[in-house]
Structure 1
Amino acid sequence: MKLRSRNIDAHEAAISTVKMAKIEAFESIFPGMLVSCGEFGICVGSECDGVPLETWRVQGRILCEVCATKEYGSKFYEENDVVDPGSSDAKFKCPAYDKEGSCKSKEVSIENFFMGNCCEQASKVFVENKKAQEKQLKVVHQYYKWDSEDLQDNKNYIKNTPIRIKKTEDRIKQEEEALNQLMKKVENAKKSLEEKRCYVRCNKNALQESKKRTIEKENVKNESLKRFKQLSYEYHPVASKLSLDDDVEARENRKDYQYCKACDEFYNDTDRRKSFLSSCGHVACLKCFTRRFNDDVEYTYCPFNLGKDCQKRYYRFEVRSLYE
């Protein structure tokens, strides 16, 4: 028992040392801003700066996704004793704590700290430390991506739910007619009917709520994009060196006919030229139709592989004859 106790104490001491190093690293770029790291605020892995937006408890250690994946693999959440992820509970000072007009809060969440949402004065604070600028740009861009994904999920739900509701309502009418004709199955038919009516009622209510949430998500996403553009302008020397998808606005506004559905790239006049395969009618860029050619194999497949006609192979000269 004493040996086990010493091993546990050594393990906890090692974790404590790593946490202190991460806190000191964060303090070096945001001095005096971290009030409390909470229970899930500091990652003790070796692949991050120690103050992530989300963490997991993996094998008794608090790790961010990057560090957990590095140590336990991409399926760490399936193969280990993992607690569901949660937002960081670290607390920070208002970014404008020392300035006039600040809210003077010491309970600012990590999102409000980096987004500058705790008060109006906080949104006007821009740091000069380049490492701090890089950290803030990455965090704000991550929130923008999350907000965009949430918004897209809501849009997809709004688009698809009315169709499912209409189909369900049509099935209800059919089953009501069958109910009158098949009295022997009346109990089973009534039960199915009631379930489907409940589905329609619940989804109609959920649809209305989702429309409201979509408006809210649209505003949140726009604020994230606005903040990202603002920071990119203010921190231009740093932003120009980062790969943060400079074309986010163009991808937001692109049309279906402007990009290849197989590789998700915009069409151009060279290797991404818009082409089609006459045997199946699918449209993609030239590179996607020819990407399987090599020195040993002289045939390719339709990149979509959706139907029976798209599963056969085409020889090089046949494929060429199908392009415009």
Structure 2
Amino acid sequence: MLISYGDYGKCVGSECDGVPTGTVEIEGRRLCETCETKEYGSDSPETENCSVVLSYRESDAKFKCLAYNDEESCKSKEVSFKDFFLGTCCEPASKVLVENEKAQEKQLNAVHYFYEDELNSLRGTKDAYATSKAKITRQGRSIKRHEGILEQLKKQAEEAEKKLIEAKKKVVDEEKLIEKKKKYVDEKKQENEYDKEDFIHREKEKNAVLKRFKQLSYEFHPVAAKLSLDEEVDAKESRKDFQYCKGCNEDYNDTDRQKSFLARCGHVACYECFKDEADDEDHPYCPLRWARDCQIKFHLHQVKPLYE
């Protein structure tokens, strides 16, 4: 699917698959982080002053559409690194799930990178939005204070003819100050609108990436758990096996998630997982066929409750 490695070239090491990721140049050779660590070690003098010159975001590699052979795909041969790994170049590409475990790790790593990147950007935009809003509030209060002063000065001008000239001068000064502050507020409002739109855009981008990451994590649960990319997966993997169902990752309970077992293979899961399999297919498989590579078929009456 790779059309071009881009200006940075591919890794020449032997520990990776050569797909453009992050590379550094050491002694005239371009290596990814995995090959660099393998060949030189993380603390070697050769790598001490090297900086990563190519990241997921900066990669100019070109790929075929992930669903290139699909008749309804975009048939593009100019798909960017991000669009290729997120499957965003067309609708068919978004539905392609790779089968190779190494490719799964690469895809999940890329999706996680872009998710973190968008999340950090969203946080920055959110902070800028909050700061701008606070400034507008403070300036609005300042305008009200100066408008009150202006009114007082106008009354003083009407009541005291002798102080009229001085009072008018103060009025003019306060009016200028108010106009200046109003202009400042108008500018900040425009900036705030831009920050708000950017925040909404980043929120959508983050949700899109997160949705894709959750989809991949569900399909490739063993890989996602091994990579520890998702905090929820990480937390559940750290619990004891008897506390939660390996089929749906939900905690056992005494109702719909009651701990049950299938006598034919001895695998344990919640009753709801067995029931879902029985509802979906005429001859359902054990719900742990993905997690435990179990190919046993069963009928619901063969599922028995398991008591502590």
CA distance in 2, matches of 1:205, 1:46: 53
Say whether residues 1:39 and 2:7 are aligned partners. yes
Spell out, residue by residue over 1:97-129, the C-alpha distance to the aligned partner (whole angstroms, 9 max, x if none): 122211110010111000001111111111111
SS of structure 2 residue aligned to 1:160: helix
CA distance in 1, matches of 2:131, 2:84: 37
The aligned runs of 1:219-234 (5 Å cut-off) are 219-234=204-219
- Aligned amino acid, residue 92 of structure 1: F
TM-score, normalized by length of structure 2? 0.53
Shift of 1:130: 0.7
Say whether residues 1:148 and 2:116 are aligned partners. no
Q: Which runs of 4+ in 1 moved over 3 A?
A: 40-70, 82-86, 168-178, 189-194, 196-199
Residues 59 and 152 (structure 1), Cα distance of their counterparts in 2 relative to 1, 3 Å cut: farther
8 Å CA contact retained: 1:36, 1:92:
yes
8 Å CA contact retained: 1:58, 1:83:
no
Spell out, residue by residue over 1:212-235, the C-alpha distance to the aligned partner (whole angstroms, 9 max, x if none): 222222111111111001001111
CA distance in 1, matches of 2:5, 2:85: 15
CA distance in 1, matches of 2:56, 2:215: 30
Shift of 1:153: 1.8
Shift of 1:48: 7.3
Say whether residues 1:246 and 2:238 are aligned partners. no
CA distance in 2, matches of 1:64, 1:168: 51
Shift of 1:147: 1.3
- Aligned amino acid, residue 73 of structure 2: S
Say whether residues 1:211 and 2:179 are aligned partners. no
Equivalent residue, structure 2, for 1:103: 74
CA distance in 2, matches of 1:192, 1:225: 46
Residues 214 and 60 (structure 1), Cα distance of their counterparts in 2 relative to 1, 3 Å cut: farther
Residues 223 and 54 (structure 1), Cα distance of their counterparts in 2 relative to 1, 3 Å cut: same
Say whether residues 1:159 and 2:130 are aligned partners. yes
8 Å CA contact retained: 1:41, 1:88:
no
8 Å CA contact retained: 1:144, 1:225:
yes
Would you say how many aligned residue pairs link Structure 1 and Structure 2?
210
Q: 1:132 aligns with which of 88, 91, 103?
A: 103
Equivalent residue, structure 1, for 2:63: 92
Pick which of 34-43 and 108-117 moved more.
34-43
Pick which of 197-206 and 38-47 moved more.
38-47
The aligned runs of 1:252-291 (5 Å cut-off) are none
Shift of 1:172: 5.9
Q: 2:85 aligns with which of 108, 114, 123?
A: 114
Higher relative contact order (CA closer than 8 Å, sequence separation 6+): 2
Shift of 1:45: 8.5
Residues 36 and 201 (structure 1), Cα distance of their counterparts in 2 relative to 1, 3 Å cut: same
CA distance in 1, matches of 2:106, 2:221: 14
SS of structure 1 residue aligned to 2:226: coil
TM-score, normalized by length of structure 1? 0.51
CA distance in 1, matches of 2:222, 2:33: 28
8 Å CA contact retained: 1:56, 1:85:
no
Say whether residues 1:236 and 2:221 are aligned partners. yes
Structure (1 or 2) with the larger CA radius of gyration: 2
SS of structure 1 residue aligned to 2:77: coil
Spell out, residue by residue over 1:142-183, the C-alpha distance to the aligned partner (whole angstroms, 9 max, x if none): 1111111122222222222121122234456778969x88x7
Shift of 1:57: 8.9
CA distance in 2, matches of 1:57, 1:192: 58
CA distance in 2, matches of 1:116, 1:151: 21
Spell out, residue by residue over 1:20-63, the C-alpha distance to the aligned partner (whole angstroms, 9 max, x if none): xxxxxxxxxxxxx1111222464678997655567789999978
8 Å CA contact retained: 2:4, 2:62:
yes
- Aligned amino acid, residue 68 of structure 2: Y
Pick which of 84-93 and 144-153 moved more.
84-93
SS of structure 1 residue aligned to 2:91: coil
Residues 56 and 212 (structure 1), Cα distance of their counterparts in 2 relative to 1, 3 Å cut: farther
